Amino acid sequence: MKEFLDELEDMNIGKIERNVPLYKYTTYRVGGIASAIVYPKNVDSLMKLIRFVRSKDIPFKILGFGSNLLFSSKQYNGILIRLDEFRDLEFFGTSKVRVGAGYSLVKLSLQAAKRGLAGLEFAAGIPGTVGGAVFMNAGAYKSDMGYIVQDITVLTPDLRIIKLENKELDFHYRSSFLQKHPGYICLEAVIRLEKGDKNAIEEVIKDRRRRRIESQPLNFPSAGSVFRNPEGMFAGKMIEDLGLKGFQIGGAKVSEKHANFIINYDHATGEDIKSLIEYVREKVKKEYHVELKVEQEFVNWE
């Protein structure tokens, strides 16, 4: 791997960090060591990087803010790619914004609010990138990315740059075309918003921030809601009714504040968290005959 990374350095693709502890790059604050994280300077550098890692048969993965990932404690013998340089932001027309995949979703919602543009209030508490939010169809408060994305620009598996319109993105509850076709990489998105009252929009964001502080365990590392809500039911209520609030495996705990959050309570490992997720799923399945779907993606568990 050292030889490979030395070659990569010589290609001047962008910043490279070697032997990276992944707890610094995930909101659960867990994970082993990654061989490298690479920050391509632009689309050409990204394409060059992907061609090179493929030619060497090295695994790679796009990494956003790590807010929906659970890494194991094993060494990740591959390349993680962060699109931090893909952060262009342009408001145009009366209510549209073109934004790079590496831009913070929280910052975007606040920028829209400043301009009196409504539609992104739901995103003010979602700690991910725009690309990650499109991939997950992130949402809250009965809204999600599927309602506001007009189109995205992607890099295809055969390294073509194309546009995908909203109807092609197959947005459903916490699901999208990109999840089912992981070889596609979101580079930027065009988002449609609506003219609104700046003060009213900012008031909604403030109110929701207050509600999050009251109802979510924001003082501990977590990855937000662990399970998707089954149709007509609430995962957190099911878990709470089973008496699992406060249940702990190793350093991982079911939050006493919100039962659909698993928190890194005391130096948890990825293995602690995964074991607790599986324990809760099993308990819910046994009691309710419902298979809870996990929102987080498990990485490097093979």
Q: Is 82 a catalytic residue?
A: no
Q: Are 145 and 166 in contact (CB under 8 A)?
A: no
> Looking at 104, 176, 225, 255, which residue is catalytic?
225
SS3 at position 211: helix
Residue in 98, 115, 174, 228 annotated catalytic = 174
Residues contacting residue 85 through CB under 8 Å, at least 6 positions apart: 14, 39, 40, 41, 42, 102
Q: Is 255 a catalytic residue?
A: no
CA distance linking residue 229 with residue 207, whole number of Å: 23
| Distance set, CA 101 to CA 62, 127, 150, 212 (Å) | 11, 14, 14, 25
Residues 6+ apart with CB under 8 A from 255: 216, 217, 220, 222, 245, 261, 262, 263
Question: Which one of the listed residues 29, 222, 281, 295 is annotated catalytic?
Answer: 295
Known catalytic residue: 87? no
Catalytic positions are 174, 225, 295
